[in-house]
């Protein structure tokens, strides 16, 4: 029954996105022009990438509040590397960004796995540490566009088949995660750990190790996004992407990723991110104040949480009925 609910939720969310587009088009028809929609998608691409990483963590009954700080630290690090070594090839920069992000994710994972510290406590702590580290390595200074090489800043903006590389990075990430979650042992382990960690142990799955890999994946995507973000906006500073971790978690929750773990899909996470992206871009077009933009996003989160709670109660009733029949 739950497997049938997820597509229904995604359909409702897609309908809500469609209504927002219609509302915006009623005031400004150019908003739904293909070129503008491509721009909206490109603006939302970093959120999509991070939401997929956060989805994996949440599915294992954890949470990663350090993703934005990871993004900022990695972005600052690769920007400083580019200033020092402007001829360093972009593939090397990207590999370094992913490695640094994965390393920070591994720190979170080790603390959760080996020391059994609650994930929210771990990632709140590392979030602060990562932000502090940015200040230490940069001495509080900015890295501006004139200091970065043209190749460094130009890569995410370069177009292929009409879309910037940043958009293609998000699309490729979606495809990889769709395959990973549906077709690989790791994907099945992630769902198993979140659905019932005690049963997962009996099937030979190492719960702590699976959660560790989830944090590493989330960190790697945060590192990748760190480079793409800094290169696209051509600036790196201490407070970059401040508070963005809350938007990432919101995208997951709106997309139907259950905070209790084990329930959610790649499509849901993507639609959740797109919903927030359209809200951010469409509502100003129809002259809706920033307060109402936040109110709409907050209401969507509450509705999604209520939907998850209702699904959980339904599952519980089904289990109880099955138990009564067996007795």
Domain layout of the chain by residue ranges: 2-326
Query: According to the model, what pLDDT value does residue 283 have?
Result: 78
Query: According to the model, what pLDDT value does residue 164 have?
Result: 96
Query: According to the model, what pLDDT value does residue 280 have?
Result: 85
2-326 carries CATH number 1.10.3470: yes
DSSP letters along 289-318, please?
A: -HHHHHHHHHHHHHHHHHHHHHHHHHHHHH
Q: Hey, what are 212's tokens?
A: 């560790």
Q: Hey, what are 253's tokens?
A: 């929750």
* Cα pseudo-dihedral 202, 181, 11, 246, rounded to 10: 90
Query: According to the model, what pLDDT value does residue 2 have?
Result: 40
Q: How far is CA 302 from the centre of its chain?
A: 19
Q: What is the pTM of this model?
A: 0.90
Q: Hey, what are 263's tokens?
A: 């329930």
Helix residue spans in the chain (DSSP H): 2-27, 34-59, 67-84, 90-114, 119-138, 150-154, 165-183, 185-195, 197-202, 207-233, 244-254, 266-282, 290-326
Q: Around Cβ 234, how many Cβ atoms within 10 Å?
A: 18
Query: Over the chain (327 residues), what is each successive 10-residue block's mean pLDDT?
Result: 56 89 86 91 96 97 96 97 95 97 98 95 97 93 93 94 95 97 94 90 92 97 97 93 91 90 91 91 76 75 74 47 47
Cα separation, 326 vs 300, whole angstroms: 39
Query: According to the model, what pLDDT value does residue 327 have?
Result: 47
Query: According to the model, what pLDDT value does residue 323 have?
Result: 41
């Amino acid at each position: 029954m739950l497997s049938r609910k997820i597509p229904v939720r995604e359909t409702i969310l897609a309908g809500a996105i469609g209504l927002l587009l219609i509302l915006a088009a009623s005031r400004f028809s150019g908003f739904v022009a293909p070129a503008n929609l491509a721009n909206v998608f490109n603006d939302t691409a970093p959120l999509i990438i991070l939401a997929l990483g956060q989805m994996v963590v949440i599915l294992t009954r954890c949470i990663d509040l350090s993703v934005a700080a990871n993004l900022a630290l990695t972005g600052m690090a690769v920007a400083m590397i580019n200033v020092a070594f402007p001829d360093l090839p972009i593939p090397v920069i990207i590999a370094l960004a992913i490695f640094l992000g994965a390393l920070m994710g591994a720190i979170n994972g080790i603390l959760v796995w080996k020391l059994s510290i609650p994930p929210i406590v771990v990632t709140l702590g590392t979030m602060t540490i990562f932000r502090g580290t940015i200040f230490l390595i940069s001495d509080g200074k900015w890295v501006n566009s004139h200091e970065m090489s043209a190749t460094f800043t130009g890569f995410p903006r370069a177009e292929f088949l009409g879309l910037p590389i940043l958009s293609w990075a998000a699309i490729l990430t979606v495809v990889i995660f769709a395959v990973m979650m549906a077709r690989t042992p790791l994907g099945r382990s992630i769902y198993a750990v979140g659905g019932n960690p005690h049963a997962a142990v009996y099937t030979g799955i190492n719960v702590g190790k699976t959660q560790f890999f989830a944090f590493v994946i989330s960190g790697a995507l945060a590192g990748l996004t760190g480079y793409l973000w800094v290169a696209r906006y051509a600036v790196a500073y201490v407070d970059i992407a401040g508070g963005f971790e809350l938007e990432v978690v919101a995208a997951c929750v709106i997309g139907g990723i259950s905070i209790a773990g084990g329930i959610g899909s790649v499509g849901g996470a993507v639609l959740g991110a797109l919903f927030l992206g359209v809200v951010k871009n469409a509502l100003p077009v129809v002259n809706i104040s920033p307060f109402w933009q936040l109110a709409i996003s907050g209401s969507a989160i509450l509705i999604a949480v209520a939907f998850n709670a209702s699904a959980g109660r339904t599952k519980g009733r089904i289990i109880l009925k099955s138990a009564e029949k067996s007795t």
